[in-house]
Amino acid sequence: MNNPASEPSNKNEGPSPEVVAELVARARQSDEDAFGELVKLFHGRVYGVIYRMVSDVEDARELEQQTWVKAWQRLDSYKGDAQFFTWLYRIAVNSVLDHGRRSARRKEVSLDEEPDREPRPAVEWQRPDDGRPDRGLERQEVQEAFERALDQLSPEHRTALILREVEGMSYREIGQVMKCRAGTVMSRIFYARRLVQEQMKGMR
């Protein structure tokens, strides 16, 4: 394997596997405090992935809570064959994808009955300000174009791209999370990059 051209920031961060394994073992014995430690250790990353997938604060909070509750209920099914966060992300990603499918169905049913939700605020792109006012406008345009481009992606393509770019997961790990082959992950990420690139043409 070659070294990736741009290594995402979250890779290799976090608690040691030994600490996680011990907390998981205790949590499996119904030790709530140990489970609470796991929540606190992984909350930021889990919430980050979910938020990037749904781009909505309330949905993200609700889905993260669902993820942790399901994780507690399913701790016995964690065999330790994958990393804990991979197992956890699988629950989170499935919760988000299920939520997306339910929302899509609700939208289909009630398209003529309910007004659309308020448009969500554009996610801020935090690049150091160089003091030029025109840069702010340009950045906002780029950000909006990026948001629109992300909206064009299916949840599966978006998820694969986020897990790679933000979490730095390998194709194999993403495949474990999304229950698909590494080849499928590769093609989803490639397609997502191409589509976002195409949508953002002329923004720079």
Partner 1 sequence: MKLEKQLEQLSRKRDGELRPHEAELGQGAEHAAELAEAERAWTEVGELLRNQAIPVPPAEVVWNNVRRELRQISGRRPERKVSVFDWNWGWLAASAIVLILLGFVGVRLMLPTTADAAIPRVEWVEAELPGSSAMVYEDEASGAVVIWLMTPEEGTVGEAGI
Binding stretches for partner 1 (CB under 8 A): 1-6, 8-9, 30, 32, 36, 39-40, 43-44, 47-48, 51-52, 57, 61, 64-65, 68-69, 72-73, 75-76, 123-127, 142-143, 146, 161-162, 164-166, 170-171, 182, 186, 189-190, 193-194, 196-197, 200, 204
**Distance between CA 96 and CA 50 in Å, rounded?**
7
Minimum gap (Å) between residue 166 Cβ and partner 1: 5
| 155 token code pair | 């949840």
- Closest distance between partner 1 and the C-beta of residue 111, in Å? 29
As measured in angstroms, the least distance from the Cβ of 100 to partner 1 is: 18
Residue with tokens 């339910």: 102
Cα within 13 Å of Cα(21), Cβ side: 8
Place of tokens 């495949």: 175
Q: Which is nearer to partner 1, 100 or 161 (CB)?
A: 161
Q: Do 161 and 186 touch, CB atoms closer than 8 A? A: no
3-state SS assignment for residue 3? coil
- CA–CA dist 167, 88 (Å, integer): 13
C-beta closer to partner 1: residue 32 or 98: 32
Backbone angles phi, psi at 123, to 5 degrees: -75, 135
Is 50 strand, coil or helix? Answer: helix
Cβ at position 5, least distance to partner 1 in Å: 4
Is the CB of 93 or the CB of 111 nearer to partner 1? 93
Shortest distance, position 108 Cβ to partner 1, whole Å? 29
For partner 1, give the closer residue by CB, 85 or 171.
171
